[in-house]
Each structure stands twice: as structure tokens, then as C-alpha cells.
Amino acid sequence: MTQIQNFLASANDTTVVKEQPSNREPLKHLLIGSRRTVTSTIHYLQVIGYADVGDWSEPIPTGNVGEFMSILIRQILIK
């Protein structure tokens, strides 16, 4: 499996815990850009209180020259 396939496969791993019905659904944020841009955006999102730096995956190369990606999966409350 390529590095990108591993990345996407791990992003799709979900553990289903059947306790009670939940109104939460996963939302995946994907940043794609230069390593500097991805890292800068991750830090900005921490500054504004949206997500901690440690919540994001490590940036990995996309296969395009100079391009990286990082993913964050959040559980969003759906009303």
C-alpha cells in the first residue's frame, strides 16, 4: 500500500460503540498544500480555538512535488 493509501485507510478507521443513539457524526477536514502552508493553518486553527495542533495527523507527501496533506476528524453534533 502506498503512503497515501495508508493515510486514507487510517482516516476511515472508525470504531462503533453501541451505547445509545448519538446525534454526532464524523467530519473530516483535509488540508492540502505546501508543508509550510499546512503547518501554518494547523497552528492558526489552534490560535482561534478550533483544534489543537496534536489533533491533526502529521503532514505527509501527496505525491505531487512540494505538496503535503494532513487530516483532522471531529465529531460534530447534528440537530
User: H-type helices in 1-52, by residue range?
Assistant: 3-12, 35-47
Please report, as a single letter, which amino acid is at residue 59: P
Please report whether residue 72 resides in a domain. Answer: yes
By residue range, what is the domain housing residue 50?
Answer: 3-9+23-77
- Gap between the Cα atoms of 49 and 68, Å rounded: 23
Residue 17 lies in a domain: no
Output the pLDDT for position 60: 96
Measured distance CA(1)–CA(48) in Å, rounded = 36
- Number of domains into which the chain is organized: 1
Instruction: Please give the model's pTM, rounded to 2 decimal places.
Output: 0.69
For the record, the C-alpha cell of 43 comes out as 497552528
State the amino acid at position 46 in one-letter form: Q
Yes or no: say if 3 and 61 are a contact pair by the CB < 8 Å rule: yes
User: pLDDT digit string (tens) for 23-48?
Assistant: 889 999 999 999 999 999 999 999 99
